[in-house]
Structure 1
Amino acid sequence: MNEDEVLAKITRLLEKGCTMLASHHDCGAPLFRCQGDIVCPVCSFQEEPLSTMRVPATEAGWGKDERTPDPCREQPPQMQKKSPGSAMEEDHPGHSVAEDQSDRSMGRDQSDHSIQDDVLLGSVKDNLRSVLLLRLRELTDSLRAEQDLDKLERLLDCLDALLRVLRSLQE
């Protein structure tokens, strides 16, 4: 098999969406992963002549019907067009569109969620404040005992950063 045929087979494998691996086969050709199988473009397709390998329609002049679908250009299932109702059903399995509309009509809207978010944020801020104060005490204690000037400088930088965060939480 000449070099042009090998390159043509490698090109076809890449066009089909196969991945070229870093390892090579005994024949010297790079190995490819195609649909979970490891194949060699030279040895795995020896019995298959080059003319039987599919060529994109633009290169061979074939019609649309004869061309194999390109898996790289197919639209993933999550990107396919859906009706608004079907999209709602997939986003909220177990809930129908009618249930969602009745929820809205019963007064469950965004204001309930924003109140819950505000309560949660306040709780998180309180927890953060208590952790920062605890760390501030620990660093202050270690500051008293530290003799190394470099470590002292790092401790002071940490304390300064902690105090800035505490001030920003109070605002």
Structure 2
Amino acid sequence: MQEDEVLAKITKLLERGCTMLASHHDCGAPLFRCQGDIVCPVCSFEDESVSAMRRPASEAVSGEEERRQDLSRAQLMQIHETPSRRGIKKDRSDRSAEKVEPDQSAEIGQSDRSREGYPSIQDEVQFHSVENDLRSALLFRLHELTASLRAEQDLDKLKRLLDCLEALLRVLKSLSE
């Protein structure tokens, strides 16, 4: 690769906001950090020996800490599973295990409600189940983004994370209303 091409690539990386690092690759070109990835402008690949440099020591997560985070995520999911939702899951498994013919009076009541423009009881239960699943997923994502917010150093990424967190909080607030 010619020197002009290398300089053009380096210029493009700098224009995109990439950071030139003090270390260099085997080819002699300086390495750049672009959106969390370490790249070489000449070879255009991520070196595994350099990928350890992607996270400063303060951001490095040990295996034990990862296990604790996984455990806390599991606990968070259990906390947000409401008793009524557990009951719904239990009812569903009971119904699938037993082959009981539906009660005709229940069908008549549901058809009357459907004709009157009201949602059926099954629709309401299904809606609440989906709503609870959505709330749990949003809370899980909120927890993940909050954890990554603590370790983030890049101001652009911080702004994007905060925007995402703000949007998540708005959606959660609208769900609770």
State which structure, 1 or 2, has the greater radius of gyration over its C-alpha atoms: 1
TM bracket, shorter-chain basis: 0.3 to 0.5
Q: Which is richer in helix?
A: 2
